Amino acid sequence: MTTTIICTVACLVALGLFFAVILYLVAQKFKVEEDPRIDTVEALLPGANCGGCGNAGCRAFAEKLVKTGDLESCFCPVGGNEAMAKIAAALGMESVEKEPRVAVVRCQGSPDKCVRTNVYDGYASCKVVNALYGGETGCRFGCLGLGDCVSACSFGGGVSINPVTHVAQVDQDLCIGCGSCAAACPRGIIELRARGKNNRRVYVSCVNKDKGGVTRRACTIGCIGCGKCAKVCPFEAITVENNVAYIDYTKCKGCRKCVAECPVHAIVAENFPPMPAPKPAEAAAPAAAPAAAPAPQEQPKA
């Protein structure tokens, strides 16, 4: 009886030792030398693995950063300046401040402004619709509202489809400016822009490249490329190309002259205090504010 027990124990111990030696040898042979700083950097990153920096996850970002030592081009949009400063300190480098960015949706084509002309009845994916045809409205540039951006967002509701307007909307508090949604949008409607001081920013909320008349027929709030905004801008921040205006956020000072000038209210000023003149207050609630404004300018069309 005792011999059996001793035998068993001895066998198991021997087996255990045998495998331990093998494991040790294998671990030695296949050891991967890694820069310990990679772990340090990774620990300082948010760990969302969102890919917003353009790398395949936080580990890849840390590897690249340590390898290149280039704080200029390696920037974690999620951690922001705070995390980057810590990383720079850990690596003993000078930190590089970057202006925080936020995604903006450059379309306001809610059903009341951009009339639905047909019904889509297929797989609910913007990519599929975009490859198939112009979309449910007369505007072939506008938001399709099927939420490819929503599924691309890894920050729980940073982007969502507004149930009333059927247009994508960004929650500026949740959005960290990683750019996943902008990459997912097959129509390039979502753009990363500087957050701006106090979150105040001005942008053209339309990407319709059709000629003014065609745009007008499709949507009452689409940019017709008239160029009035470009003329009124004191900072030469606005360019009109392919029948659509674009505001360069590096030049824009937020004077909002263009907002007041735009005949179709396609320019959006977010988070500004109200101006004396009527204007759309906020992109997040386009249905509420412009309701009063577009009424007079719809008449010349009819």
Partner 1 sequence: MTNKLIVSPSPHLHSSNSTVSLMRDVIIALIPAMAVAVWFYGLHALMLILVSVVTCDLTEYLIAKFLMHSEKPLADPSPAVTGVLLALNLPPAAPWWIAVVGSIVAIAIAKMTFGGLGKNIFNPALVGRVFLLVSFPVAMTNWAFTQTAMDFSAFGFGPQVDAYSGATHLAIAKEGLAGGASLSQIFPQGQFTWDMALLRMGGCIGELSAVALLIGFIYLLARRVVKVTIPLTIILTVALISGIFSAVNPEAYTGPLFNIFTGGLLLGAFYMATDYVTSPMTTKGQIIFGVGIGVIVMMIRYFGAYPEGVSFSILIMNCVVPLLNKYCKPARFGKEVNNG
Partner 2 sequence: MKLKTFKIGGVHPDDSKLASEEPIEQLPLPQTAYISMAQHLGAPATPTVQKGDSVKVGQVIAEASGFVSACIHSPYSGTVTAVEPHADLAGNMVMHVVIAVEGDEWLPEIDRTPDIRREITASPEEIVAKIKNAGIVGLGGAAFPTHIKLCPPPGKKAECLILNGTECEPYITSDDRIMREHTEEILLGATIMMKALGVSRGYVGVEENKPAAIAALRSFAGKYPQIEVVPLKKKYPQGGEKQLIDSVIRKRVPSLGLPIDTGAVVQNVGTALAVYEAVQKNKPLIDNIVTVTGKCLPKQKNFRVRVGCTYSQMLEAVGGMPEKGAKLISGGPMMGKAIVNPEAATLKATSALLVLTEEETRRKAESNCIRCGKCADACPMGLQPFLLSRLAKVGGRFDELEQEKVFDCIECGCCLYTCPANIPLLDIIRPAKAQVTKIMKSRPKK
Q: Whole-number minimum distance, CB 61 to partner 1, in Å?
A: 33
Of residues 208-227, those binding partner 2 (CB under 8 A): 210
d(CA 162, CA 168): 6
Asked if 200 is part of the footprint of partner 2 (rule: CB under 8 A), the reply reads no
Which is nearer to partner 1, 136 or 210 (by Cβ)? 136
Q: Which residues partner with 251 through β-bridges?
A: none
Asked if 18 is part of the footprint of partner 2 (rule: CB under 8 A), the reply reads no
| Phi, psi at 25, each rounded to 5° | -65, -45
* Look-up of token digits 């906020």: 282
> Which string of b and e fits 177-216 if b means at least 16 CB within 10 Å?
bbbbbbbbbbbebbbbbebbeeeebbbbbbbbebeeebbb
Task: Provide the mask over 123-152, with x wherever binding to partner 2 is found by CB under 8 A and - wherever it is not.
Answer: x-x-xx--xxxxx--x-x------------
Q: Whole-number minimum distance, CB 148 to partner 1, in Å?
A: 16
Q: Which two tokens stand for residue 280?
A: 């759309």
- Residues lying near partner 1 in the complex (CB under 8 A) are found at 116-123, 128, 132-133, 136
Q: Which does 25 bind (CB under 5 to 8 A by kind): partner 2, partner 1, none?
A: none
Asked if 19 is part of the footprint of partner 2 (rule: CB under 8 A), the reply reads no
Asked if 183 is part of the footprint of partner 2 (rule: CB under 8 A), the reply reads no
> Which string of b and e fits 268-289 if b means at least 16 CB within 10 Å?
bbbbbeeeeeebbbebbebbeb
Of residues 52-91, those binding partner 2 (CB under 8 A): none
Which is nearer to partner 2, 44 or 126 (by Cβ)? 126
d(CA 256, CA 233): 9
> Rule CB under 8 A: which residues touch partner 2?
117-118, 121-123, 125, 127-128, 131-135, 138, 140, 210
